[in-house]
Amino acid sequence: MVRIIGFFVGLGFCLVLAIAFFTGAYNQITNPPAETAEKEFHLHPKPLALESNGPFGKFDRAQLQRGFQVYKEVCSACHSLKFVAFRDLKDLGYSDAEVKAIADQWVIQQPSINPDTGEPATRKSVPADHFPAPFANEIAARAANNNALPPDLSLMTKAREGGAAYVHSLITGYRDQPAELLKKFPTAKTPKGLHYNPYFANLNIAMPPPLVSDGQVQYTDGTKPTVDQMGTDVAAFLTWTAEPKLERRHGIGVAAFIFLLVFSVLTYMSYQNIWASKKRELAHS
């Protein structure tokens, strides 16, 4: 009796799923979703070739230092790196003295009040500190950015589909709205205070173009600072902030693959050696 009831219950579930599937398919065919500006004009990130790409990828230290320079001179005015400590910059090739000098350029707000002035107490950063936020709190950040909250960039290449390619395409992809878009979707005009960017999900982003011209950052290693080069370098740097142990992970992966390959060969040879005599006995029996 229980089996019969269970059978009919399962049959009912299958029937409900079938009805839901065919109803959804019918509605999709008869009433397809309306075309939107976002769906038609949104672009996927352009491929970005970095030294860290692929299973054997390694970071280009010179590029990471250039990317950090772009972050420091352009991005840090609005965006934080709360999961990165100054001492982590040693992985980019900076010496202890250089890391200390870099940290000294940032000011940390203390959770206390200066008894002499009544103002919030501050101090210079040290290598053990994490990069401080550019704003005291979310209210201050929104007030300075047209009510938009600049996201932290520490894990940005992991948080966005496309990773480093998305970052590069976004910060170098600002342009005027296409006439075709305004003709087809007259109500999709970019609102005041926003900026058209086809690589952003809804095409309009509050962040102004961060890289506006070649030479905006003067590289210390002599590399020509074009907008595309600066965008590539900061994307590489943010790849490192999101996964600083990438090279170690790749190395462990290669070692594990070699171990498993050798182990498989030895296992097969052992199998052949152990069972060879048994096979001959079976063949002659």
| 82-96 pLDDT, tens digit each | 999 999 999 999 999
Count of CB atoms situated within 10 Å of the CB of 8:
10
Mean pLDDT of 104-111: 82
pLDDT at 116 over 70: no
Is 239's pLDDT higher than 70? Answer: yes
Do residues 79 and 171 lie in contact, with contact meaning Cβ atoms separated by under 8 Å? no
CB 169 within 8 A of CB 46: yes
237 versus 36: which is more confidently predicted? 237
The number of CA neighbours under 13 Å toward the Cβ of 99 is 19
User: What DSSP designation does 111 have?
Assistant: E
Nearest of 79, 88, 225 to residue 145 by alpha carbon:
79
Q: How far is CA 104 from CA 54, 109, 126, 196, in A?
A: 36, 13, 6, 37
* pLDDT beyond 70 at 220: yes
CB atoms under 10 Å from CB of 283, counted, come to 7
Are residues 229 and 211 in contact, defined by beta-carbon separation less than 8 angstroms? no
DSSP string covering 174-199: --PPPHHHHHH-GGGPPPTT-EE-TT
For residue 46, give the nearest of 187, 206, 135, 163 by alpha carbon: 163
Instruction: Say how far apart CA 63 and CA 49 lie, in whole Å.
Output: 12
The angle at the Cα of 57, spanning 88 to 174, to the nearest 5 degrees, equals 80
User: Residue 274: pLDDT above 60?
Assistant: yes
The CATH H-level (homologous superfamily) assignment of domain 38-79+152-244 is Cytochrome c-like domain (1.10.760.10)
Question: Residue ranges for the binding site?
Answer: 75, 78-79, 207
Average pLDDT over residues 27-51: 80
Instruction: Give the model's pLDDT for residue 160.
Output: 94
Q: Confirm whether pTM is higher than 0.75.
A: yes
Binding site listing for heme c: 75, 78-79, 207
- pLDDT at residue 5, rounded to an integer: 82
Q: Is the dihedral of CA 205, 69, 84, 59 positive or negative?
A: positive
Task: Report the share of the chain in percent with pLDDT over 70.
Answer: 88
Type and span of the H or E element at 14 = helix 2-30
